[in-house]
């Protein structure tokens, strides 16, 4: 991506204005995308106000990337999103752990050191036992997230 997008805060719901800022698109674009991408269904409350959840913000970023950075048409992006979602459903059905959406420890504010130039393990300063414990905890958290996320 040309312009780096801000990190997504740890909140349960986001307003359309917040999502616009997080994804680099205007609110009217988000409303249009809701019509074009059936997977995008924010919750609507009082006076039809839209409230987006974390997974929807990630989906909007993916749509934005397909349209703005990869040059897909709306139709092409819609088809690509269907392929991606079907692939994720197949992975879940096969019991594979999905880590998509959270790229790495860099995407989370963990306080762990960044990798060095050689690409050495960023958990190298920890004991093997602590590293195994952190990785097991991370896997469990992703499993919980996947269980709680709707199967869009």
| Alpha carbon distance 107, 76 (integer Å) | 28
DSSP characters for 87-147? HHHHHHHTTPPP-TTS-SGGGS---PPPP-TT---TTTTS-HHHHHHHHHHHHHHHHHHHH
Helix axes 27-36, 54-64, angle to 10 degrees: 90
Percentages helix, strand, coil for the chain (3-state, rounded to 5) are: 55, 5, 40
CA diameter of the chain:
54
Residue-range domain boundaries for the chain = 1-95, 97-152
Give CATH for domain 1-95. Answer: 1.10.1660.10
Mean pLDDT per segment of 10 residues, for the chain of length 152 residues?
79 95 96 94 91 94 95 94 87 62 43 44 65 81 75 50
pLDDT at 87: 86
pLDDT at 59: 94
pLDDT at 13: 94
Structure token pair of residue 98: 């999905």
pLDDT at 61: 96
Phi-psi region of 40 (alpha: psi -120 to 50; beta: other; left: phi over 0): beta
pLDDT at 150: 62
Structure token pair of residue 43: 């919750």
Q: Residue 15 in 3-state DSSP? A: strand
**Per residue in 108-131, pLDDT tens?**
444 444 444 444 455 556 677 777
């Amino acid at each position: 991506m040309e312009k780096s997008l801000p990190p997504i805060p740890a909140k349960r719901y986001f307003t359309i204005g917040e999502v616009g800022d997080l994804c680099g698109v205007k609110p009217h674009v988000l409303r249009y995308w809701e019509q074009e991408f059936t997977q995008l269904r924010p919750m609507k409350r009082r006076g039809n106000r839209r409230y987006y959840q974390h997974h929807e913000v990630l989906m909007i970023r993916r749509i934005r990337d397909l349209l703005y950075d990869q040059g897909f048409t709306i139709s092409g992006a819609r088809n690509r999103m269907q392929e991606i979602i079907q692939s994720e459903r197949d992975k879940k059905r096969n019991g594979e752990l999905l880590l998509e959406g959270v790229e790495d420890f860099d995407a989370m504010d963990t306080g762990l050191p960044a990798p060095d130039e050689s690409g050495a393990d960023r958990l190298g300063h920890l004991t093997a036992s602590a590293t195994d414990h952190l990785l097991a905890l991370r896997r469990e958290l992703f499993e919980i997230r996947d269980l709680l996320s709707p199967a869009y």
